[in-house]
Chain A
């Protein structure tokens, strides 16, 4: 079966972000960018499904500026077969991203679509669910285990309080949690091979999706910084401070 994986280019997760002095956003100039960690897990899961003989073809799609092709090439180096780049320099919000992906799903007709559960920049946790709704597919969100069985897929989901397993009819959408798998590294030969894999570029207009944002960001601020605390010398002093100074116990 065909598997579609969506990946996003985001700021590297180790980077300490800086809010721009004019409060219009976060400073992304000269900052290290990378594939969203949850998307890496999505790619890895698709590759594992292919290695198990469940998936026959892996198509990776990314929406964003020209530079997002780097992340598609990374996914190709990890084992995806071909890429689709929906190129735009405009801001793409979750609903519009879901509509773009829906257009790709209509054309490619994958049996399984795998996305990360959230991107670490906007922290929305929406796109997979929105895509599933638009495509009329069931969803297995926050997956820590995915088992394809004939025309169904069993997904174990990480929920508040524990784990829940659901069975979904294929085609279905799955969003990955961190514990689904441990992504591999791309080897140099695979990175070289990935350069020759097909990558098709489209525009949001080609897919008939209007990117007009529904949400306007009025300002972005740095969070309140906490006051520097003190170091205590002993457990006795700590308990005394908590009881008599902070009065929290």
Chain B
């Protein structure tokens, strides 16, 4: 059995989520190869070769893959993946975009967002916004899978010494092109990989007030997230959204500030180790999942939290 893992990167840095996907591949068991597809990705391929447990890195360096267009990636991965028993990618927006296309080209089903491996053909995944957990068995020859990174421990990113092999498959479907990217700039850790996340909801009242959370985040080395209400109200950009339709996080500590705790939000954070809720509404559903709840006005509690953390950290 051999497993192809699609490496997530931005042409210069290998995304840490790839290490969790290799962790999932390890749980399945078998020879693990990593595919690096992009433009000028020599550095990424070198990093991928150091991942623990990987025996081979395949590099497809071509302008057609420079912007990770799903139409082109799917042709490549479907061709390269034919010889494998499993094809895995992180369930981020890149994997969610092109992997179902790969599955359709190979005429197999896709198993989305797996959080556990039962065996080589049986996987556990959440449905109904995480309110039910399904165990599914695949009868397909090739298993096309996207992996929920927070469900698997990352493998070490160093110490491995995989062989690097270049492949010249240049698939340009010629039906789509990249126009522009508008990426949010941030010095804080990536939301899905952060060990502490502090999130704000509608209770924050405006975008300016998120600075209060940022100050606390900087003290804790935390990432800042948001509920859909805060994103829809325009307080913060949508890539900060935690929930069923946003990002799934499972940090050691999740601090929910001014978030009521709708089903869709809980779907994105209820696997966190410790949950703290700060909300003035004692009846807010978030308190039903919070390990530590503080019923208080966030505009008083958050500055106090900052002051208190300065004392103890």
Contact = CB atoms under 8 A, between A and B. Distances in A.
B227 to A, nearest CB: 12
Contact of A158 (B93, B175, B253, B304): B93
Contacts of A118: 245
Given A166-B179, A230-B291, A238-B294, A130 B101 contact: yes
B94 to A, nearest CB: 7
Determine the main DSSP class of B at the interface with A. Answer: mixed
A120 B134 CA distance: 14
Interface residues of B, number: 90
A139 interface: yes
B137 A249 contact: no
Given A123-B126, A129-B97, A216-B136, A162 B237 contact: yes
Interface in A99-132: 117-118, 120-132
A188 interface: no
Nearest to A129: B100
A104 B264 CA distance: 32
A206 B176 CA distance: 33
Given A161-B183, A169-B176, A242 B274 contact: yes
Interface stretch (B49-57, B102-110, B160-168): B102-110
B127 interface: yes
B181 A163 contact: yes
A134 to B, nearest CB: 5
B132 A222 contact: yes
A225 B157 CA distance: 33
A5 to B, nearest CB: 19
Contacts of B175: 136-138, 168-169, 172
Contacts of B98: 129
B138 interface: yes
Interface stretch (B28-36, B37-45, B67-75, B205-213): B67-75
Interface stretch (B18-26, B58-66, B81-89, B305-313): B305-313
Given A158-B93, A223-B133, A246 B291 contact: yes
Determine the main DSSP class of A at the interface with B. Answer: mixed
A76 B37 CA distance: 43
Contact of A178 (B113, B228, B274, B293): B228
B232 interface: yes
B128 A26 contact: yes
B128 A162 contact: no
A95 interface: yes
B93 A238 contact: no
Nearest to A19: B132
Contacts of A94: 100, 109-110
B275 A129 contact: no
B308 A235 contact: yes
Contact of A229 (B102, B105, B138, B290): B290
Interface stretch (A10-18, A46-54, A65-73, A189-197): A10-18
B293 A93 contact: no
Given A232-B293, A235-B305, 8 more contacts: A19-B132, A160-B94, A163-B183, A214-B108, A223-B130, A223-B132, A229-B291, A249-B309
